Amino acid sequence: MAIKHIDSLSPPLTVKIARFLLLSNIFAIIPVSLWFGSFGIASLFFGNYPSIAYNPYRSGFLFSNYFRHPDEAFIAVFTPLLILNIIWFVAWAIKARKNISAFTSYFREMEFSAPSESNIVRSKLGTHYFALDTKKGTMIFIAHTGTSFTSFIYPKDIRAMGFGMYDWKSVEIEGNTLRIYTGNPDFPYISLVSNKSAMLYEKIHTMRNQNWTYDNNVPGYVEHQAQRIAEKNGINLVLPPK
Q: Which residue has the higher pLDDT, 39 or 14?
A: 14
138-144, strands of its sheet edge to edge? 3-5, 236-239, 157-163, 138-144, 128-133, 120-122
What is the dihedral sign for C-alpha 54, 55, 56, 59? negative
What's the pLDDT at 7? 64
What structural domains and CATH numbers belong to the chain? 3-92 (no CATH), 98-239 (2.30.29.30)
What's the pLDDT at 190? 92
Spatial contact of 180 and 187, defined as CB atoms under 8 Å apart: no
What's the pLDDT at 84? 86
Q: Which residue has the higher pLDDT, 176 or 17?
A: 176
What's the pLDDT at 75? 67
Residue 54 above 70 pLDDT? no
Q: Which residue has the higher pLDDT, 224 or 80?
A: 224
Average pLDDT over residues 32-57: 60
Residue 175 above 90 pLDDT? yes
Which segment of 37-46, 55-64, 70-79, 177-186 scores lowest on mean pLDDT?
55-64
Predicted TM-score (pTM) of this structure = 0.78
Average pLDDT over residues 163-169: 95
170-174, strands of its sheet edge to edge? 170-174, 177-181, 189-193
